[in-house]
Amino acid sequence: MTRDRAQGVTLYALAALLTAAGAVWFLRAAPEPGEDPQIASRRRTVELLLPEVPLQAQAETMVLAAGDQAERSTAVRGGSYELAVACLGEGRIRVRLSTTTEDSGRAVPCAAEAPEKVEVSVALADAFFMAVSAETKGTTVFRWRLTRVRSY
């Protein structure tokens, strides 16, 4: 074998070894597929506490990291509604129902294991607005449900 050919074989062998090492690193560093089991368990817990109901206008389960903020709005028919919320995690979630920033909102405490449902009655004309701020340590699971109250 000539010297040039030996260098070429060595170069190709090193390139193949480097490619294999990169592939192993890439596969080992990839995140696990699916949702974190702790988050999935918290999601099931709050969804059992606030299940879907026939008269609900809207509901959502949100996974919030510390400091996250979110806004939700939806068109509704005028009338009385009940907003039910629950939080599972550490800290609290601040819920503001006004579109102005002058209102600081209401702090909903998060529980580490057994969340409690907090209910607020609201009268709405044609739209529902809610701003949510996570004042928590770590990731929390927050569920809210807006339900129309029957009037006679």
Q: What is the pLDDT along the chain (152 residues), one digit of tens a residue?
A: 788 888 888 999 999 999 999 999 998 888 777 778 888 999 999 999 999 998 889 999 999 999 999 999 989 988 899 999 999 999 999 999 887 777 677 889 999 888 889 999 988 888 999 999 999 998 999 999 999 987 65
Instruction: Count CA atoms closer than 13 A to 135's CA, side-chain side.
Output: 11
Q: DSSP state, 58?
A: E
Q: Which CA distances in Å does 81 have to 52, 94, 105, 118, 151? A: 15, 19, 18, 14, 10
pTM of the model: 0.75
> What's the pLDDT at 135?
92
> What's the pLDDT at 107?
87
> What's the pLDDT at 150?
76
Nearest to 73 by CA among 150, 25, 144, 1: 144
| Residue 61 to residue 27: CA distance in whole angstroms | 31
Which H or E run contains 96?
Answer: strand 91-96
Nearest to 43 by CA among 84, 86, 73, 91: 86
